[in-house]
Amino acid sequence: MAFGAVLAMAGCAAPAPPQLLTADGVERVAVDSAAFSDELISFRNSAFVLGDTLLASGGEGNVVASPGSLLIALAMLRAGATGEAAAEIDAVLGLPAGGRDEAMNALLASLEEYDGDPGSVDEENPPAKPLMHAANGLFVDRSVPTGENYLKTLAQFYGTGVYPVDFTDEAATKPAMDAWVNRNTGGRVEKAPARYDPKNTFSLLNSVYFAGAWEAPFSAEATSDRPFETPQGTASVPMMHGAQYMAYADGAGWQAVDLPYGEGFVMRLVLPARGSDGGAAAIKADLLAGVADALEAADPGMVDIALPTWDHNSSFDLREVLGQMGLRKTLETTSDFNAIQPGLMLTQAAQDANITVAEKGTVAAAVTQINGMAVSGRAQPEKSITFDRPFHYQIVHTETGLPLFMGKVTDPRWWLRG
């Protein structure tokens, strides 16, 4: 599966990006995520809000998004924001009041334990230890100066710099950006999601890639066609089946489990009660926080689970998504991002995401792009859960609680992709 945030993606083919420009003499700060427990909860809740809006904007059908990627991209944008835009981003996303960049550094550092090359993955056989690769690619026009303090912040807390390019030279710059995206998503996303515009002077790309085997893979022999209640009627879909240890919780109108990968991550599955108002679309941010707390407090037990396979993808116009969230000043200002580039105005934002779920595990990828222009043990199962109707899912990093991917399945059939 692939996750993406508000920037562009990496590519695996030539040409390579230009040389990375970083702040002179500035090294990344070493941090411990345990020192930022409250801030990490804030980030988790921010991602729930982002995921809420992304899924709602994706329509009535199957949707997959990466709120984790979008959160990282917006955090990098916020690092260069001042004035009304900065206050608006903090308020709408509920970002930590202090130590925001330090806490994001801790979050990214904790994810790096699972870093690797997406191009090395055999997607038919996902790795037992999940591979989770997050990358940031900031492309800036070399004719427009990038703020020195912004470069220092990128180096200190995000471990990155910027790629100076000539946006008016589309023949050179667009292939370099697309190659960056392709490379950092293992080819699951082939190009930057936003339309190329030679008038832009800034493009922030974030990519998220995940590949992991289930802790206890499903037997292919146990997969069989079973009924699934789609909004259009009952369909016959491939349904995996097995009994294994996992956290289980339920509440008013929902059941949920954390289906574990080999280590470090779970797929969180939330099943609305049959006949509940809104179905999977009614699983909102406030409920997700309660579900997360309940599952994290639950002791694992043997659960008999039936779960369909699926292979879905989605694309988003993030300017619309951010506008719906209330980030209007952020989208309109020509002065509050001067710390990044003088007169910078956000012109485009987009995300592409995809996911494949099968008996052996999951592969997913996403890319987020934000562009700007300078104007100036075998026991009897204790519980049973059958995902035979629309449901909500997340891929969650257990140490931080961050939902890297989030989606809803209304019809698992592979030929109905988005």
Write out pLDDT tens, residues 388-401: 999 999 999 999 99
CA nearest neighbour of 26 among 120, 161, 141, 138: 161
What is the C-alpha separation between 200 and 202, in angstroms, rounded?
6
Beta bridge partner(s), residue 303: 244, 383
255: left (phi over 0), alpha (psi -120 to 50) or beta: beta
Beta bridge partner(s), residue 141: 165
Taking the chain (418 residues) in runs of 10, the rounded mean pLDDT of each run is: 37 61 90 91 96 92 96 97 97 92 96 96 97 96 94 94 96 96 97 96 97 97 95 94 95 95 97 81 88 95 96 96 95 96 96 98 98 73 90 96 96 67
CA nearest neighbour of 365 among 312, 310, 416: 312
Number of Cβ atoms within 10 Å of the Cβ of 230: 19
Write out pLDDT tens, residues 38-74: 999 999 999 999 999 999 998 889 999 999 999 999 9
pLDDT computed for residue 279 by the predictor: 75
Q: Which token pair is 363?
A: 């592969």
Q: Which token pair is 256?
A: 């949920």
Q: Rounded to two decimals, what is the model's pTM?
A: 0.93
181: left (phi over 0), alpha (psi -120 to 50) or beta: alpha
Q: Would you list the DSSP string of 92-131?
A: HHT--SS-HHHHHHHHHHHHGGG---GGG--TTS--SS-E
Domains for the chain: give ranges and CATH numbers.
2-214+312-374 (3.30.497.10), 220-308+379-409 (2.30.39.10)
Cα 109 to Cα 33, 133, 196, distances in angstroms: 8, 11, 31
The residue whose two tokens read 């109108």 is 253
pLDDT computed for residue 282 by the predictor: 80
pLDDT computed for residue 171 by the predictor: 96
CA nearest neighbour of 317 among 92, 86, 59, 54: 54
What is the C-alpha separation between 311 and 409, in angstroms, rounded?
10
Write out pLDDT tens, residues 285-326: 999 999 999 999 999 999 999 999 999 999 999 999 999 999
Q: Which token pair is 139?
A: 């492309």
Strand spans (E) along 172-309: 202-213, 224-230, 233-251, 254-260, 265-272, 301-308
